[in-house]
Structure 1
């Protein structure tokens, strides 16, 4: 995944999308340059960013994410009715919704789709482990009974758990039929994926907010064109070949801005960069040495080296960015401007013996490499000896699976809809973050049944993460995309979407 994850203000989201909706439908076409060819259109099987970007126009889920990345109804008619023990969820379903093949959406389709999702999707398999039963409750509701409380349930139902007609469910999908504002017309691999307006689409109500609210298929057609080369995407956008171009180099910002034919769009808080530490073997098994890494580093200098301009990054100790429901300052005391003296004291307390700290990074993500260079300088100033190992990304991902091979690796992640799905929280993720304190904090989260209780529990998890120091959050980074000058109502989202967007004349 792109990991992602931006939080636009409600005002901005509402203002631009409302303008688009007011303009009504057109016969225009939107041509979208993507970073490559989707390997499939089955988001259950392959929930990568490119698949989810296209799929969200065709398929819908029971819930989706609003501007705070909270789960809100999409095909569901409301939030679940929960039993007092938090183990039974009754989910009401919207009535009058149709699939692209003309069939009616009902509870049978939901049960069949979610059963397949729990069989084939990685997140779905996690849910399957705690689901006791999934049943229809009439035509317009389903009931999920759990073996134990599972707070991330709605978040996991907000992404790749696409609903398809029960008659189309198969191990391998051969027809891609959904309830979304656009239907698949033609897919020519390495050329384009063509979607056309679904005239019988029934939109959810409400002000547009991230992926929630009113959806109008203003453009008659959307063509997703795979363009793997970033510079080709830039040139095609400027020449007028594309109406939208995804994932542009930050170095192209001024050129697009000055072209007069297109405008750059900064998507804030696309993801976050981190230094992940090995808690299983080597130097950093000792908490004092991991905390010394935290205290030694200067996040602003690392992000400035990586992105050159503060338009493209922000520094924030909270794992989730400002504007997110999950943003909190809990536990971030050791996140600051770099304190070599305090770090040296922790090195002494941890009995550091001068063994080189093996820091792995890759130049395939150039910003990883630049972060690594600055981190090396700060760690050495604190008293560490540092062995900066620069390898290709495939080697890094292979080597990080072996706890004997490294002490720190640099990576980046998106901001998930539920905080407990962050990779590092998983015991088996490279770094092998296992602690009694983490287990207790995560258990408290899983037991929560309200947003307020989840938020309080997440404060506790972040506090434990900062104390245990399995990783060091460097900062948040922004992404650059571009739209044609004639399009004024595009609203940035993590997976770019094109309902409520008017084609240029």
Structure 2
């Protein structure tokens, strides 16, 4: 079987272009190393399964609040995928497909109006009717709530109208090509207007949406529970009675619980365990290339919080691009990723996904590891060596292992990195508040390149955690978002990447390969290159009834 991540999806203004990402067989790369075989999982389809049962999924970190508007945690997406559907989704081939919408948007010739037809006869988990007005309420909240993390993702929206019960009309200030892709993630999640009115800013404590399951309970640092929603419009394809997401930070403990049967799915498998689990006949290892990336944020001016006006930070690292370039040159990307992750992951220096429509030779070309030049740049910048940097790192074995290898690599280039182990939820808070110097943290990735770049580097964006500002990059991103011409967009993103590699507000280091495992007694677990493990339509194997 040959799997393609996506083909160019063309309709007026709103378009997504992702070319073939990976084939299902092993691929020999130009450097001689082999990629790994993809396995996205198998839908239930016509398999014999039994209705009912509780599925337990081990989560490698605690999700933040279950609020689609304000959340920024990768792990929150796992839970929300079961309880909060979106206007659009992407399928296993990476194509954008309707979910709560009934068709892709129709866009006016001038690109300023997008009309979205939505489902009728659907109810939220609290019994509230789903209609265009409810969609309008959620989209407006995503767009304008003060604490929203979705605003920059949604583009230059002027207004949102409900035209009757089944039609939503989005008016744009400027054409915005990535709109549909944005509405295929949290910006497209629709919340019950009744629950929003009752809960307000506390919606995430008791989220209510349209989904196969509905939220029932959360025990902080321990578990999140959801149960089958009988009001769900496609309830006939929901088999489980309950899903429990159990927080299990330690990768070894997750793997042990998977082998023992105490959990049926583990969201993240360490490359250290992947080979062994792959050979276990009682388990199935799902694996996929990633749309995302991992790297190092450098705080350039995020003093009062992301999205607030930037202020100068009086350190050479923040003020002098030569120091950041030196840091980039002191990271031996290929060696680090091969040694720490047993060649399961890939090195990178760009937000553009390799082997896709927008990947050019220039954006795939990483600077060579050059500690001598790094020391030369530090000397030119007039800083004493070793130059000290505090690097906040998530408290997972793999991330800490990588940080320690990075520490050793950068030492040869004249840097003294102090690793500060930090809980994931605290990292997210530090990221937003700006109370960090440097931080190792990644992004799970989106199907359109705008979703992997714009929110992090656009001046004033709520996701601009580095406090980076560049009128040139802002302009190029605007041009790329306004055109549906794939070749023109690729050229513009190439220019953006070149500028980012000069300024280095974020040092791209590697791309994870998503590794998820589940018991062979369960089927219907799927994982796509967007990184979301889909368990809502899973089931235990066996006779029906």
**Shorter chain as normaliser: what TM range?**
0.7 to 0.9
State whether residues 410 and 416 of structure 2, in contact with CA within 8 Å, keep that contact through their aligned partners in structure 1: no
State whether residues 266 and 518 of structure 2, in contact with CA within 8 Å, keep that contact through their aligned partners in structure 1: yes
User: Compared with structure 1, are the counterparts of its residues 47 and 287 closer, same or farther at alpha carbon in structure 2 (3 Å cutoff)?
Assistant: closer
| 1:33 equivalent in alignment to 2:33 | no
| 1:497 equivalent in alignment to 2:528 | no
Task: Choose from 498, 512, 534 the match for 1:477.
Answer: 512
Q: In the aligned structure 2, how far is the partner of 1:400 from the partner of 1:51?
A: 17
Offset of 1:497 from its aligned partner? Answer: 0.9
Larger CA deviation: 47-56 vs 238-247:
47-56
Q: Helix, strand or coil for the counterpart of 1:391?
A: strand
Superposition map of 1:84-483 within 5 A: 84-95=109-120, 97-100=122-125, 105-120=130-145, 122-126=148-152, 130-160=156-186, 161-170=188-197, 171=200, 172-173=202-203, 177-180=208-211, 182-184=212-214, 186-187=216-217, 189=219, 190=222, 193-196=225-228, 198=230, 201-202=233-234, 217-230=237-250, 231-253=252-274, 256-257=277-278, 260-269=281-290, 271-277=292-298, 279=300, 281-284=314-317, 285-307=319-341, 309-311=342-344, 313-322=345-354, 324=356, 326-336=358-368, 338-340=369-371, 342-343=373-374, 346=377, 350-362=380-392, 364-381=395-412, 384-393=413-422, 406=437, 408-417=438-447, 418-425=451-458, 429=464, 431-449=466-484, 453-483=488-518
Q: Helix, strand or coil for the counterpart of 1:226?
A: strand
State whether residues 295 and 335 of structure 1, in contact with CA within 8 Å, keep that contact through their aligned partners in structure 2: yes
Q: In the aligned structure 2, how far is the partner of 1:223 from the partner of 1:291?
A: 46
Give the unaligned 5+ runs of structure 2: 1-19, 25-36, 301-312
1:94-146 CA-partner distances (Å, limit 9, x unpaired): 44545456665332221233233334461344478943321122232111112
Offset of 1:60 from its aligned partner? Answer: 1.4
Q: Helix, strand or coil for the counterpart of 1:135?
A: strand
1:212-237 CA-partner distances (Å, limit 9, x unpaired): xxxx7352324224243534433332
Q: In the aligned structure 2, how far is the partner of 1:224 from the partner of 1:17?
A: 21
Q: In the aligned structure 2, how far is the partner of 1:244 from the partner of 1:398?
A: 28
Q: In the aligned structure 1, how far is the partner of 2:501 from the partner of 2:42?
A: 39
1:150-205 CA-partner distances (Å, limit 9, x unpaired): 4443333222242245444422549755433x1327436456513226476249xx
Q: In the aligned structure 1, how far is the partner of 2:294 from the partner of 2:288?
A: 16
How many residues were matched structurally? 478
| 1:55 equivalent in alignment to 2:60 | no
State whether residues 30 and 219 of structure 1, in contact with CA within 8 Å, keep that contact through their aligned partners in structure 2: no
Q: Helix, strand or coil for the counterpart of 1:392?
A: strand
| 1:22 equivalent in alignment to 2:46 | yes
Q: Helix, strand or coil for the counterpart of 2:55?
A: strand
State whether residues 96 and 202 of structure 1, in contact with CA within 8 Å, keep that contact through their aligned partners in structure 2: no
1:42-95 CA-partner distances (Å, limit 9, x unpaired): 433445344332222222111223457564432222222223332222212244
Larger CA deviation: 263-272 vs 234-243:
263-272
Q: In the aligned structure 2, how far is the partner of 1:375 from the partner of 1:317?
A: 15
Give the unaligned 5+ runs of structure 1: 1-6, 204-215
For 1:206, the equivalent position in structure 2 comes to none
Larger CA deviation: 386-395 vs 339-348:
339-348
Offset of 1:299 from its aligned partner? Answer: 0.6
Length-normalised TM-score, structure 1: 0.78
Offset of 1:261 from its aligned partner? Answer: 3.3
Q: In the aligned structure 2, how far is the partner of 1:200 from the partner of 1:369?
A: 42
Q: In the aligned structure 1, how far is the partner of 2:93 from the partner of 2:457?
A: 22
Q: In the aligned structure 1, how far is the partner of 2:39 from the partner of 2:334?
A: 32
